[in-house]
Structure 1
Amino acid sequence: MSFEASKLFDLTGRIALVTGGGTGLGAIITQAYIQNGASKVFISGRRQEKLEETAGKINQLGYTGKVIPIVGDVSTKEGAQDLVKKLTAATDSLDILVNNAGIMLPVDPARTDSSKEIESPEDYAARVAGGDFDGWVDQFKINAIGPYFVTFGLLPLLAKAAKKGDGRGSVIVITSIAGLSYPPAMSAAYQSSKAAAISVTKGLATRLSPYQIRVNSIAPGVFPSDMSVNLLVDNVKNSIPVRKFGDPEEIAGLALFLSSKTGGYTHGTNYVIDGGRLLNVPAS
């Protein structure tokens, strides 16, 4: 048995779509794909200016592959269908789909500080009743329902790629350790939507198995991004067993593994990458 180590994460000639690719983890994964040989990485999002900015920065690095921005909104069925239509017009095969688009809204009031006297049931119930019901729905639309409809819309392109083998036809859903833990100080709406995204991943994996399409998810802990800015504080860092926040290379490496021949035997799994934070988070 032998293999060429330098080719383990090689994506030469592969085509990818990264939703929410203009910022945060999506931009990191996009750059990793280009640096490892992908010929085209389409990035989608609602802000054209941000997409073009990210595409320009990565394209200026001088790699052979190109980042191509596509405006798309996966928060509605029509938006997901429009994104699928645009991508189908741009390519006849899709090797990698990363469902990364997501939102976290402070729509439900967290429980009060556990170090203080607990509030009355009446006061707590009244605060929750004042929460944003529509905000719950919005998070489920983008974090869980969108990936389902986008993936099925691109099924023909993914199936065509999967027939070529070597790990092609890979779908990744970006979930979160929030979907695996339930500390009362965190948004219950976000936790629930990410738990749903993990379930959606499992459902997609079983439904797409006949087409040799692999579906996995990545559940990040705390990585610096626009979404996690409020978590980048010392008390959170000190609660992580490895005593640091995640680095770009670490999330990029896992995405490359799942998207390349090296990860060709991985299917239906939610990969936690959190520095051990779930070991210390309540109800993990």
Structure 2
Amino acid sequence: MERSVLVTGAGRGIGRAVALRLAGAGFRIAINYRRNEEAAASCLAEIEAAGGQAYVLPFDISDRELVRATLEKDIEENGVYWGVVLNAGVHADNPLPSMKGEEWDRVIHTNLDGFYNIMNPLVMPMIRAKKGGRVVSMSSVAGITGNRGQVNYSAAKAGIIGATKALAQELAKRKITANSVAPGFIHTDMVADLPVDEIKRHIPMRRFGTAEEVAGLVNFLFSDDAAYITGQVISINGGLV
């Protein structure tokens, strides 16, 4: 049985690693991206070269009407998604006294509103399909412990955790699980400008994680072995507390 999975922000970083890993597990991947068409095309080419199935699906997750129109058209043309990985997000770091209103709004509207914008039009088609399914949201250690200079990002990621837990309760009897993955410091473009050596001293494993390690966790949550796991927040952070 062919199962399609939407992965948002799949062109680079964790999203790309997740798309590649799930494609390798036999899922057909809808590769979402916002601006970087070249990265999305590269991800598509890599999946197809390995014998997997995928296609690109451009939209900005913060644009509610565009998201709905795009997803409804895609479902009409390609069928209902069996799974969704809510990975796309942005950050605009600043201490709260210096944080501009647009920095707060952009992060909240993209990261948290994006959850609603995507899942609202997708939940009922998944329910009507009566095939079960998986939803995995990408939170962050910042959404659990907070992080200096990231009040907006921490608020959005904490909100995603709450939304995922509530959605899990709504969907459990439909055999659709919803869980949140909370990465710590992972080697991606997002951490390129951070003081890596200093941060590593605070991580018990003394290293950053890899996007492939996060993808492995998501892949497990999409497996049959994870069918009884729902409403959980699973940290992958090298022991960071």
Do both share a fold (TM > 0.5)?
yes
Contact 1:218 1:272 survives alignment (8 Å): yes
Select the residue among 29, 32, 39 that pairs with 1:44.
32
Q: Which residue of 1 aligns with 2:155?
A: 192
Please provide the CA RMSD for this pair.
1.8
Q: State, as a whole percentage, how many aligned pairs show the same letter.
A: 32
Q: CA deviation at 1:70?
A: 0.7
| Residue 72 of structure 1 pairs with residue 59 of structure 2 | yes
| Equivalent residue, structure 2, for 1:139 | 107
Cross-structure match for 2:87: 100
Tell me, yes or no, if the aligned pair for 1:177 and 1:274 is still in contact at 8 Å.
yes
Instruction: Say whether 1:236 aligns with 2:207.
Output: no
- Aligned-pair CA distance for 1:230: 2.4
Deviations 1:167-197 (A, max 9, x none): x41001000010111343x321111111111
Which letter maps to 2:112? Answer: A
List structure 1 segments (4+ residues) > 3 angstroms apart after TM superposition. Answer: none
- Cα separation, 2, equivalents of 1:244 and 1:143: 26
Structure 1 residue 84 corresponds to structure 2 residue 71:
yes
TM-score (norm 2): 0.92
Shift of 1:218: 0.3
The corresponding residue for 2:237 is 274
CA deviations on 1:114-155 (whole Å, 9 max, x unpaired) are xxxxxxxxxxxxxx1x42112211111221121123112112
Equivalent residues in 2 for 1:103-114 (5 A)?
A: 103-106=90-93, 108-109=94-95
Unaligned 5+ residue runs, structure 2? none
- Describe the SS at the equivalent of 1:277: coil
Give CA deviations for 1:242-272 in whole Å, capped at 9, x if unaligned.
1111123321221011111011001111111
Letter in 1 for 2:111: N
Taking the TM superposition and a 5 Å limit, the aligned residue runs for 1:245-256 are: 245-256=208-219
Contact 1:102 1:143 in 2 (8 A): yes
Listed as ranges, the matches of 1:200-239 within 5 Å are 200-231=163-194, 233-239=196-202
CA drift at 1:210: 4.0
Q: Is the 8 A contact 1:144 1:193 kept in 2?
A: yes
**Range 218-227 or range 151-160, more displaced:** 151-160
Q: What is the alpha-carbon distance in structure 1 between the residues aligned to residue 70 and residue 108 of structure 2?
A: 19
- TM superposition score normalised by structure 1: 0.79
* Residue correspondences, number: 240
Letter in 2 for 1:134: E
C-alpha deviation, 1:232, in angstroms: 5.9
Bigger shift: residues 237-246 or 50-59: 50-59
Query: How far 1:234 sits from its partner (Å)?
Result: 0.6
Taking the aligned partners of 2:160 and 2:60, their CA distance within structure 1 comes to 17
8 Å CA contact 1:44–1:72 kept in 2: the answer is yes
Report the secondary structure of 2:190's partner residue: coil
Aligned equivalent of 2:7 = 18
Larger displacement relative to structure 2 (13-22 or 208-217): 208-217
Q: CA deviation at 1:274?
A: 0.4
Please tell me whether the aligned partners of residues 92 and 157 of structure 1 are also in contact (alpha carbons under 8 angstroms): no
Which residue number corresponds to residue 142 of structure 2? 178
Shift of 1:71: 0.6
- Hey, what's the Cα distance between the residues in 1 that align with 2:80 and 2:200? 41
The equivalent position to 2:124 in structure 1, one of 148, 156, 162, is 156
Structure 1: which 5+ runs fail to align?
1-11, 111-127, 279-284
Secondary structure at the counterpart of residue 154 of structure 1: helix
- After superposition, what is the alpha-carbon deviation per residue over 1:84-119, rounded to whole angstroms, capped at 9, x for unaligned? 22321232221110011100112x326xxxxxxxxx
One-letter code aligned to 2:41: E
Following the alignment from structure 2 to structure 1, what is the Cα–Cα distance between the partners of residues 2 and 195?
37
CA distance in 2, matches of 1:207, 1:137: 28
Pick closer, same or farther for the CA change 1:109–1:248 going to 2, 3 Å. closer
